[in-house]
Structure 1
């Protein structure tokens, strides 16, 4: 990624068992699959919206 683009590191810290299907899809859209997976994503309104949907499952490092 270019140096001038802001990025966000997202880590899946809670398992998906018992979670709504819509929230499972949001986690998958973030590119997370297993517990403790980490992805570095471009900071955009779309990514922030997905993070806000599953805020209780992920940890964000800016």
Structure 2
């Protein structure tokens, strides 16, 4: 993992009715609504959030 490597994450399932911690992870990744995508730096912290809510996301290496 290099410091400037980025990953594209897309929210493909709704956060309605999810745990508050999972909603916070989605917001922390910069995602606001369904089918919204964001580029995030591939850090251990961001990877942890992506792993926690992986069932809501589509993750692509850039």
Runs of 4+ in 1 over 6 A off after TM superposition: none
| 1:4-43 aligned within 5 A | 5-43=4-42
- 1:52 Cα deviation from its structure 2 partner: 0.5
Q: Which has the larger radius of gyration?
A: 1
Gaps of 5+ in 1: none
| Number of residue pairs aligned between Structure 1 and Structure 2 | 59
Instruction: Name the TM-score, length of structure 1 as normaliser.
Output: 0.90
Q: Which runs of 5+ in 2 are unaligned?
A: none
Name the structure where helix makes up a greater proportion of residues: 2
Q: CA RMSD in A?
A: 1.1
Give the TM-score taking structure 2 as reference length.
0.90
* Structure 2: distance between partners of 1:15 and 1:44: 24
Report the 3-state secondary structure (helix = DSSP H, G, I; strand = E; otherwise coil) of the residue aligned with 1:51: helix
